[in-house]
Chains A and B, each alone.
Chain A
Amino acid sequence: MNAPLTSGYNFAYLDEQTKRMIRRAILKAIAIPGYQVPFASREMPMPYGWGTGGVQVTAAVLGADDTLKVIDQGSDDTTNAVSIRKFFEKTAGVATTTVTSEATVIQTRHRIPETPLKEDQILVYQVPIPEPLRFLEPRETETRTMHALEEYGLMHVKLYEDIARHGHIATTYAYPVKVAGRYLMDPSPTPRFDNPKMHQSPALQLFGAGREKRIYAVPPYTDVVSLDFEDHPFEVNKFDKPCALCGAEGVYLDEVILDDRGGRMFVCSDTDHCETRRADGNRGEMSPDSSENRP
């Protein structure tokens, strides 16, 4: 991404005809929550599996007045988040931010921000395998039929077998959800910790899978229910300690190895959330003394 890309390309890279095609798919996806809409995914200048679906969805919904935030694993500063943010700075010239509450469009890989989203925000997920049933049934022809018939017994059997074998459901991310009481949906490989945030979210949630050529959506204020059983209710991942830098509890934490003698600390996966809390004076057990040292 060294060479300047801007000259000769349309606003946000894709031509208007392609954007219209993607918007039509998005509208259909919003109209049928959780349903995977096939779309003519384009080849993008970044590799498949690195967010081409999310990038196409973002390009299709982005306007000149938008403020874009891009996160990967909760962080604004991981390599791929930097690369995608730069891509839109270059090709669309839109304002970018790392502050969740300031963004109008947030493209994400594997996390939902800790700061609750609002009505005027769009969360765009990058999706590697859109089909929640794929690892139970590899054939698209089969899984499409299963969705059409709302035949989701296979997934319940899988979860039941988890319980029979391990005593509890052993799916920790990409935990299947049912959307608006109809379609089984893959929430993308977000940790199941984030699943409850999808339920009745005021923000529009769009999912783009470029390689698999599928778009799906959860409209604002839609029921998103994680599958479970009455005697084994859905639970989120829990952490024993708060964030070592900002002291936040009830957030998703990354484990950071400190040395080769078993030393480790747990810090917020959502870097913006952590920084905002520290700027507000919150401290964790391992935070540097002075706020000037904040990155």
Chain B
Amino acid sequence: MYVAVKGGEAAIDNAHALLAHERRGDPSIPEITPDQIREQLALAVDRVMAEGSLHDRDIAALAIKQARGDLIEAIFLVRAFRTTLPRFGASEPLDTSAMSVRRRISATYKDLPGGQVLGPTFDYTHRLIDFTLAGGAAPPAPATATQGEAAPHVTTLLDDEGLIERNPSAAPDAPVGDLTREPLAFPASRDLRLQNLARGDEGFLLALGYSTQRGYGRTHPFVGEIRFGTVQVGFHAEDLGFCVDLGTISVTECEMVTQFKGSAEAAPHFTRGYGLVFGQSERKAMSMALIDRALRTAEFGEDVVAPAQDEEFVLSHSDNVQATGFVEHLKLPHYVDFQAELGLVRQLRSEFAARQADLDAMRKEAAE
């Protein structure tokens, strides 16, 4: 018998060609375009932008097409593209209170300045399969309204009474942490934790946020506010000496208001958890806000007891590109390591058998 130890290269090329063929699907069905994905699978595009950490709807849509709809694969494609892009610097902080709001709701106040704006949402829909969508009929025109009064953040209303912790004051000259340029070290500062969570896997964050609600690091959260819309991005150009507008991006922001019983030093007050993600993803922004608060446990002198409160655990496992890479690397050959283990198990088994034989012999002798 002859054993093939070579022959991988042609097989790999063929596998890639087959993938391209499968991606296209049945050629009698029209090919999907990135434009269609961008417009009609907008929430998938939003997720890929958010976790791909790159605000570019066209790149995200193309990545979804290339990945055959596998969103983590699409996120991976976007990340690998993003990493090659030049950096000009950090933008000015976003002013989300000046957001052009498409949706803005508060669960803590029935009505508030700026009002409750429901916007495009699945909330309150009945989750019944809509068979008319299969036919592709045009939807009725939506109701429209002009942008109403300014919508200040709910937490600033609480701030006036001193009921909620103050946000640290802005430090415009402080360096902006970036875990894609400096390796994450522990303990991590809050800006890096938030960056990690903003890029983190939606499902992982959802499960961890959920766990805090079920008693694993409970924070008694309220949705102070969720808002989704577009905000201006400003950039301070050193050459010009003033701030220029780069354009607008769409973001979802969530501010959780959570309880704090107070301590010997601090009176009881509310605390904050913060979430901000690209595009529209309230699930992700809310989960992020829950975990942000949970990760501040030690800051409030509370005991770290639950997974969601454990910075190393959360931040080291939130990135789905890292996670999927390492889990799936188990598909790579491991035969030299397995060979080493095979040798060990065989040796242990033969030693075990020898011991059993000795024991049997001793028992036999004892019986005689």
Interface residues of A (CB under 8 A from B): 1-2, 9, 13, 15, 38-45, 47-50, 52, 72-75, 77-80, 82-83, 109-111, 128, 138-141, 166-167, 170, 172-174, 189-193, 211, 213-214, 237-239, 245, 252-256, 258, 265, 267, 269, 271, 274, 286, 288, 293, 295
Beta-carbon contact of B12 and A82 below 8 Å: yes
Supposing A1-B16, A49-B325 touch, asked if A44 and B83 sit within 8 A by C-beta, the answer is yes
Return A295 CB to nearest CB of chain B, in Å.
4
- Taking a contact as CB atoms closer than 8 A, the residue among A43, A73, A140 that contacts B334 in the complex is A73
Cross-chain contact B183 with A41 (CB below 8 angstroms): yes
| Residue in B9, B11, B76, B79 with the greatest tally of chain A CB atoms within 10 Å | B9
> How far apart sit A79 and B15, CA to CA, in the bound complex (Å)?
11
Lowest 5 A-B CB distances belong to which pairs?
A48-B325, A49-B329, A47-B325, A172-B340, A49-B326
What are the residues of chain B within 8 A of A45 when measuring CB–CB? Answer: 80
Distance in Å: Cβ of B8 to nearest Cβ of chain A = 5
Taking beta carbons and an 8 Å cutoff, which residues of B are in contact with A?
Answer: 1-9, 11-12, 16-17, 20, 76, 79-80, 82-84, 86, 180-187, 312, 316, 321-322, 324-329, 332-337, 339-344, 348, 351
Assuming the contacts A110-B336, A173-B336, A255-B339, asked whether A211 and B16 have C-beta atoms less than 8 A apart, the reply is: no
Name which residue of chain B comes closest to A259, CB basis.
B1
A-B contact pairs, 20 of them (CB 8 A): A43-B180, A47-B76, A47-B325, A48-B329, A50-B329, A75-B5, A77-B8, A78-B8, A79-B11, A166-B348, A173-B336, A189-B337, A191-B337, A191-B340, A213-B183, A213-B184, A237-B343, A265-B1, A269-B336, A286-B1
User: Known contacts A82-B12, A166-B348: does B83 contact A140 (CB below 8 Å)?
Assistant: no
**Nearest B residue to A49 by beta-carbon distance?**
B329
A295 to B312, CA, bound (A): 49
Query: Would you call B182 and A110 a contact (CB within 8 A)?
Result: no
Q: Which residues of B are found within 8 Å of A173, using beta-carbon distances? A: 336-337, 340-341
- B119 vs chain A, min Cβ distance (A): 33
How far apart sit A107 and B185, CA to CA, in the bound complex (Å)? 28
Which B residue sits closest to A174, measured CB to CB? B337
Interface-centre pick from B5, B8, B185, B343 (highest chain A CB count, 10 A): B5
A residues within 8 A CB of B351?
166-167
Closest chain-B Cβ to A144's Cβ sits at a distance in Å of: 9
Residues of chain B within 8 A (CB-CB) of A167 are 351
How long is the Cα–Cα vector from A65 to B320 in the complex, in angstroms? 37
In the assembled complex, which residues on chain A have CB atoms less than 8 Å from the CB atom of B326?
48-49, 128, 211
Residues of A close to B8: CB separation below 8 A? 77-79, 82
